[in-house]
């Protein structure tokens, strides 16, 4: 699903959703816009389109008028998964569920079931109605179709059932939305807090894209300053400050410490990214540092000083999609509109607690048109 070939094939889906978002913002000119909500709806529709096909996006949007209910479900899931669990420290207490975490999770999964079950049933019906000879050679399969076909095969060395498939889909939906919208919100917060940097980003967009043109993904490789802004944001506000826990398959010695087999290991990326021995003025927002060292810092995890997506075999599987979507969304919003805070408001950069490092308060900003031609907002 996340190969370069498949991502290129899905560009029309991403473009459609980003353009729909620009049209939506244009209808709210002069009014405060919830940046996180905006990013959530856009990213969720892209992910759902990749999994189930674009026709299922309409069904997802029917969950509420603005996607708020589904966003709250996704956010709540992330909060429950990230809660410290006493049974992690005292395994013998796990069966008592003293904190009620398992009960909370079961309730959330039932809500996800109510969303996923109709879509899965529709795909199963479609597959059962088709015969092998009727399948077009160049027909593009969605992820859910591939998983359902694998479930029916008995000799492929893996075991899939509907429960496992739904677990995979929930992981993709959560991983593909929660971190992305959090990053977009942090970038916009830092830019509103540093208007001179936002001005530089928009000047670059004016030069690369042009004021009589809209942003396309083909422009993204040339947006070097926006890329530096994104990298600096992920340095200060990594979406997963401790990444995801690892469990070594065999004992190892790391930095002189013995890590026993099966130990749950967390990597404190948040501390690494703010280490004054590694970064000059680590608490200051300075995108230029990534222009000076552009060859040394990327998202691939090759430099142990900068690991926003992890490193090695367990690096974030959604990195290629996340990089495309965040850049595409930000470039489109910043090229199409000027942004300011509501009257009397200040940028809140305080952080909330959780598996994903979110802003403690949602970001609202007021857009005004930046492009001269009304047709560019359609």
Taking a C-beta distance cutoff of 8 angstroms, is the pair 215, 328 a contact?
A: yes
Q: What is the secondary structure of 170-216 as a DSSP string? A: HHHHHHHHHHHHHHHHHHHHHHHH-HHHHHHHHHHHHHHT-TTS---
Q: Are strands 257-259 and 337-340 parallel, antiparallel or unpaired?
A: unpaired
Element of type H or E holding 300: none
Closest CA to 144 of 75, 62, 71, 47: 47
Q: What is the secondary structure of 122-158 as a DSSP string? A: HHHHHHHH--GGGS-TTPPPPHHHHHHHHHH-SSSS-
What is the residue whose two structure tokens read 């669990």?
85
Q: List C-alpha distances in Å: 376 to 23, 25, 209, 337.
A: 9, 13, 12, 11
Q: According to the annotation, is 123 in a ligand binding site?
A: no
Angle between helices 35-52 and 11-26 (to 10 degrees): 150
Q: Which residues contribute to the annotated binding site? A: 316
Q: Which residues contribute to the annotated binding site for heme? A: 316
């Amino acid at each position: 699903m996340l190969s370069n070939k498949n991502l290129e094939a899905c560009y029309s889906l991403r473009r459609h959703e980003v353009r729909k978002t620009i049209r939506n913002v244009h209808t709210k000119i002069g009014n405060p816009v919830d940046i996180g909500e905006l990013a959530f709806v856009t990213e969720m529709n892209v992910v759902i389109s990749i999994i189930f096909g674009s026709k299922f996006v309409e069904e997802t949007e029917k969950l509420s008028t603005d996607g708020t209910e589904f966003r709250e479900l996704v956010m709540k899931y992330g909060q429950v998964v990230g809660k410290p669990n006493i049974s992690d420290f005292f395994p013998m207490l796990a069966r008592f569920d003293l904190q009620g975490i398992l009960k909370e999770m079961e309730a959330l999964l039932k809500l996800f079931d109510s969303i996923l079950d109709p879509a899965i049933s529709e795909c199963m019906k479609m597959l059962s109605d088709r015969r092998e000879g009727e399948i077009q050679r160049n027909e593009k399969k969605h992820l859910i179709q591939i998983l359902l076909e694998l479930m029916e095969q008995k000799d492929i060395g893996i075991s899939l059932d509907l429960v496992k498939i739904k677990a995979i889909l929930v992981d993709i939906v959560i991983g593909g939305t929660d971190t992305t919208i959090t990053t977009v919100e942090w970038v916009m917060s830092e830019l509103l807090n540093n208007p001179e940097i936002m001005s530089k980003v928009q000047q670059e967009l004016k030069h690369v894209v042009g004021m009589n043109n809209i942003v396309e993904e083909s422009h993204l490789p040339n947006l070097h300053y926006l890329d530096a802004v994104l990298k600096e944001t992920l340095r200060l506000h990594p979406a997963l400050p401790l990444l995801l826990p690892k469990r070594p398959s065999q004992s190892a010695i790391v930095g002189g410490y013995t890590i026993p087999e099966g130990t749950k290991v967390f990597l404190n990326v948040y501390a690494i990214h703010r280490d004054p021995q590694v970064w000059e003025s680590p608490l200051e927002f300075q995108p230029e540092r990534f222009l000076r060292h552009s060859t040394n810092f990327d998202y691939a995890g090759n430099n142990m000083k900068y690991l926003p997506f992890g490193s090695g075999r367990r690096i974030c599987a959604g990195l290629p999609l996340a990089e495309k979507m965040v850049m595409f969304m930000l470039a489109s919003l910043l090229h199409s509109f000027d942004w300011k805070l509501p009257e009397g408001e200040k940028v809140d950069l305080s952080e909330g607690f959780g598996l994903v490092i979110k802003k403690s308060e949602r970001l609202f900003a007021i857009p005004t048109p930046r492009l001269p031609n009304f047709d560019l907002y359609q």
